[in-house]
Chains A and B, each alone.
Chain A
Amino acid sequence: MLPQEIIFGLTGVGLFVIGLRGVMLHVSALARILAINVCGAGVFLVFVTVAYRGLGERPDPVPLALVLTGIVVAVSATALALALARRLQEGGDE
């Protein structure tokens, strides 16, 4: 394993854990949505580490394609969560 892989991999795991802790401990909806995104960033970083093959080498394209899909999903999920949180805060219901 390359040292870069270890550093990036551990950072990814660390972000995942920080995000997880945030989702479980925070009460505010906005903080929890942000924490999920931190969590997701950790997972994506792990994917990027998996794709890395060393300096000057072409990265493995499959994990990168997966990260792109993952980011698209995360963006839409965040949008839905924010919309719901806003509706809740406005107290607007029929």
Chain B
Amino acid sequence: MNSLLIWPIALPLLGSLGALVWSSRAHLIGVGVGILTLFASSLVALRFAEQGGLEHALGGWEPGLGIALRVDGLAAALLMMSSLVALAAAVYATAYFSDPVKRAVFWPLWMLLVAALHALLLAGDVFNVYVTLELLGLTAVALAALGGSRASLRAALRYLTVGLLGSMAFLAGVALLYAAYGTLDMRGLAGLVRAEPAAWVALTLMTAGLLVKAALFPLHFWLPPTHANAPAPVSAALSALVVKAAFYLVLRLWLDVFDGALTQAAASLLGLLGAAAVLWGSWRALRAERLKLLAAYSTVAQLGYLFLFLPLLLALPPGPGRDAALGGLVLFALTHGFAKSALFLAAGVIQQHAGHDRIADLGGTARALPITTFVLALSGVALIGLPPSGTFLAKWQLMSAAVTTGQWLWLPVVGLGSLLAGAYTFRVLGHAFGPSERAGGVLVGGRQEIPALLLAIVATVVLGLGANGLWGFLSTGVSVTGVSS
């Protein structure tokens, strides 16, 4: 029994209720719960590092009848990232909302989002995954609509429609799985799934549903308007955490559950879409006129890289080579999570300070907001993949895996994508360092700039230098591919 596992979910859920009842103190509850949740997630990660895979049967009902919560290296790593990013964004949000109505609505939804996200990461059965996916989608839509403008409402409605369609496809896949194998428990399914039509159709439906939510090219069309028009702390969580939750599920299904039913051709197709996402997303980011739109298109591109890993993981035989590639993938996801949330928070500071986020009119930002400009530069380093950021090591793993498996096609994609990322980063910095007569203090808004700065430092320095620890952590106990190997 590991009742520890319920706390990363229960704490934000209770906090959400508390914030609803006691709305005048909601921001204090939000930050307090953020700290407690981070503490609980750290305990889970520590316990995992000591003992390996953890499992908790809710209410004492064993899987099969009840619902299990499970943690492995992948889930623990993402849980830590999500708790850290959520805490930083919560501190940022205490100084962000000026409208009291929006502030009162924000906090309960925010903590509900965190609870849904953590429940999704720890879910051990496919139906529970569906429920958490819907909870996450609904709270994300409500938060995205908080922007209040017509553009943000329209984007939120489209996000909801597209997301619901994705979950319907996922649910249809769940029905087929139950019809074919009689269980919804992921570990139980992993031992039963064979290469047969029922498994293929279920996998196709579930993957298609998740790809919509993970915004893989060409299903990314809903992401840029939604992420660019949401309030800054919400954009940070949407781009860094929510889309990644859908990718996490793709990974979980492909590597754990459907391991026995996969073909290299299907993985290569996802890889090709990922490659198209890298090039198209980076190009649109370079052409974007607004900073937040640039960040949103950059998310489309960075998610593409994650999908490039899939055909490589499938082609590599189980062993150290595959573990290294998987480590690279997780490192990429984590670095992007921290870097992109930092970038969105910084964009929010600029937007509130200057009243707009048009890239061409950013001149003087470097003098007026030196810390925020530094955050832009640091997150740019992580997005391009320069050392010592985690992305550098992750791209290195990606390219060396491409060489070992002979999938040369991905090499020019990574190269070109990195060049384009360099171009869009320096385009922003070039304008930010432009001339202006305004000069500001060193630190303009501590509660907003310091969280962004810390996130950017984690992405560029901590994850890059501490990557060895992550590889060790991921291979502790039951590995992600442990069921089949």
Contact = CB atoms under 8 A, between A and B. Distances in A.
Interface of A: 16, 19-20, 23, 29, 32-33, 36, 39-40, 42-43, 46-47, 50, 62-63, 66, 69-70, 73, 76-77, 80-81, 84-85, 87-88, 91, 93-94
Given A88-B150, A93-B149, A93-B150, A81 B175 contact: no
7 contacts: A23-B161, A42-B172, A77-B134, A77-B138, A81-B157, A81-B161, A88-B157
A6 B134 CA distance: 29
Given A50-B175, A50-B178, A93-B153, 18 more contacts: A16-B168, A16-B172, A29-B157, A32-B161, A36-B165, A39-B165, A43-B171, A63-B175, A70-B130, A77-B160, A77-B164, A80-B141, A81-B161, A84-B141, A84-B145, A88-B150, A91-B150, A93-B150
A71 to B, nearest CB: 11
Contacts, number: 79
A40 B167 CA distance: 10
Interface of B: 99, 127, 130-131, 134, 137-138, 141-142, 145, 148-150, 153-154, 156-157, 160-161, 164-165, 167-168, 171-172, 174-176, 178-179, 184
A91 B142 CA distance: 17
Report, nearest first, the 8 A-B pairs whose CB atoms are least far apart.
Answer: A50-B179, A84-B157, A73-B134, A46-B175, A43-B172, A47-B175, A88-B153, A39-B168
A36 B162 CA distance: 9
A85 B178 CA distance: 35
Contact of B138 (A42, A62, A76, A87): A76
Contacts of A62: 178, 184
B164 A63 contact: no
Contact of A94 (B145, B148, B167): B148
A73 B157 CA distance: 16
A43 B179 CA distance: 13
Of A20, A43, A88, A93, most B-chain CB atoms within 10 Å: A43
Given A43-B172, A50-B175, A73-B134, A20 B165 contact: yes
Contacts of A19: 168
Contact of B161 (A16, A33, A46, A76): A33
A94 B165 CA distance: 30
A44 B142 CA distance: 25
A36 B209 CA distance: 14
A65 to B, nearest CB: 9
Contacts of B172: 16, 42-43, 46
B145 A40 contact: no
Contact of B168 (A32, A36, A85, A91): A36
A70 B161 contact: no
Contacts of A91: 150
A70 B134 CA distance: 10
A23 B175 contact: no
Contacts of B168: 16, 19, 36, 39-40, 43
B418 to A, nearest CB: 35
Contacts of A40: 164, 168
A84 B141 CA distance: 10
Contacts of A50: 175, 178-179
Contact of A84 (B99, B160, B167, B178): B160
B349 to A, nearest CB: 21
A70 B160 CA distance: 16
Contacts of A39: 165, 168
Contact of B160 (A42, A43, A81): A81
Contacts of B138: 76-77, 80
A87 B137 CA distance: 19
A33 B174 CA distance: 22
B113 to A, nearest CB: 14
A52 to B, nearest CB: 10
A91 B137 CA distance: 24
A93 to B, nearest CB: 5
Nearest to A73: B134
A40 B166 CA distance: 11
A93 B148 contact: yes
B230 to A, nearest CB: 14
Contacts of A69: 127, 131
